[in-house]
């Protein structure tokens, strides 16, 4: 029995205008009110998606969000973390060295803010993510020691992102995922959305078989493969579709709502 629905945002729940459509909103609210957990799963911090949480009324004491691609599981009301996993500045040095050598921009995120490394030139990330503080700084000036960072990001022209994704070689402690055509993310090797979801499932006394997931991109692959029912959008990447249990219509065709309507036999 499905007890939790976990949804990627960009190119999955959100349409091309970065909106949750009326039909997607209506069906998710209906299921949430019926007792099914609705969990947004994103690479963004929670402050950057507060408008979506409010729209779906995901504000009960046991409502959670998977943020930073599974690196942080956070309570929507209290903002108390259930689970977190990150990297140190030293861990990020190989990413910095590669991007610097190839004259590419870099943003570094901890669980509070974004650090844009000015010596590497302008990044597109500031225009992509809202609701979080941006700080102009340099790699040398980043906090040292045990300070924990969630991830690093390359946000630039999609063609450049494709080249980096194909060519970059990094140590085993870093994994590379593409979350949007113009964004490549560098994460701790063990971090993925299913990792965060497993911690949340355990907290709520559920199993993976109780989980339905929706996604489209590299950073959704593990939660699609690991769920009782993993659903991929028509606009999803071929390698993600391969591990899906089911496919649905695109994000611009209300694919989430269409699948939920059929699965739960809901009349809208």
- In this predicted structure, the answer to whether residue 51 has a pLDDT above a threshold of 70 is yes
* pLDDT tops 80 at residue 244: yes
Q: What phi and psi values does residue 32 have, to the nearest 5 degrees? A: -65, -45
Residue 268: per-residue pLDDT? 67
Instruction: State yes or no: pLDDT of 243 exceeds 80.
Output: yes
Average pLDDT, the chain: 96
CA distance 81 to 236: 30
For residue 20, the 8-state DSSP code is B
- The answer to whether 10 is a known catalytic residue is no
**Residue pLDDT, tens place only, 145-202:** 889 999 999 999 999 999 999 999 999 999 999 988 999 999 999 999 999 999 999 9
What does DSSP assign to residue 227? S
Say yes or no: domain 89-188 is CATH 3.65.10.10: no
- The pLDDT score that the predictor gives to residue 215 is 98
Per-residue CA distances from 239 to 129, 216, 224 (Å) = 26, 10, 11
Average pLDDT over residues 92-100: 97
CB proximity list for 239: less than 8 A, separation 6 or greater:
218, 221
CA distance 200 to 173: 24
Q: How many CA atoms lie within 13 A of 89 on its CB side?
A: 12
User: Tokens 């009301």 label which residue?
Assistant: 77
Q: Closest by alpha carbon to 68, among 181, 190, 161?
A: 190
pLDDT for position 46: 92
State the pLDDT at residue 145.
Answer: 84
Q: How many CA atoms lie within 13 A of 77 on its CB side?
A: 7
Name the residue ranges covered by the structural domains of the chain.
4-84+191-264, 89-188
pLDDT confidence tier of residue 131, bands split at 50, 70 and 90: confident
| CATH fold for domain 4-84+191-264 | Rossmann fold (3.40.50)
Report whether 23 contacts 261 (CB < 8 A). Answer: no
Among the listed residues 8, 91, 216, 220, the single catalytic one is: 8
Q: 130 is written with which tokens?
A: 């809202």
What average pLDDT does this structure show over 37-46?
94
What pLDDT, on a 0 to 100 scale, did the predictor assign at position 124?
A: 96
- Residue among 1, 4, 2, 9 at smallest CA distance from 201: 4
Over 80: is that where the pLDDT of 143 sits? yes
Q: How confident is the model at residue 227 (pLDDT cuts 50, 70, 90)?
A: very high
Task: Using the structure block, give the residue that is written with the tokens 């225009």.
Answer: 127
Given a cut of 70, whether residue 8 has pLDDT beyond it is yes
pLDDT for 16? 96
């Amino acid at each position: 029995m499905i007890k939790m629905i976990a949804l990627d945002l960009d190119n999955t729940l959100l349409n091309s205008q970065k909106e949750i459509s009326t039909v997607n909103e209506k069906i998710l609210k209906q299921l949430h009110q019926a007792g099914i957990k609705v969990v947004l799963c994103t690479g963004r911090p929670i402050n950057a998606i507060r408008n979506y949480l409010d729209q779906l009324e995901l504000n009960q004491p046991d409502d959670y969000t998977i943020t930073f691609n599974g690196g942080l599981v956070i309570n929507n009301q209290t903002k108390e973390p259930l689970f977190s996993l990150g990297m140190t500045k030293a861990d990020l040095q190989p990413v910095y060295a590669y991007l610097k050598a190839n004259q590419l921009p870099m943003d570094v995120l901890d669980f509070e803010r974004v650090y844009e490394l000015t010596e590497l030139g302008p990044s597109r990330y500031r225009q992509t993510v809202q609701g979080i503080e941006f700080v102009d700084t340099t790699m040398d000036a980043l906090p040292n020691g045990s300070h924990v960072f969630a991830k690093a990001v390359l946000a630039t022209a999609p063609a450049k992102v494709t080249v980096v994704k194909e060519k970059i070689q990094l140590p085993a402690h870093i994994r590379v995922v593409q979350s949007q055509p113009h964004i490549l993310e560098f994460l701790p090797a063990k971090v993925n959305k299913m990792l965060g979801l497993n911690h949340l499932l355990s907290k709520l006394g559920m199993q993976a078989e109780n989980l339905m997931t929706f996604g489209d991109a590299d950073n959704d692959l593990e939660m699609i493969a690991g769920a009782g029912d993993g659903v991929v959008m028509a606009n999803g990447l071929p390698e993600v579709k391969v591990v899906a249990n089911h496919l649905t219509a695109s994000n611009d065709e209300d694919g989430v709502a269409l699948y939920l309507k059929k699965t739960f036999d809901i009349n809208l």
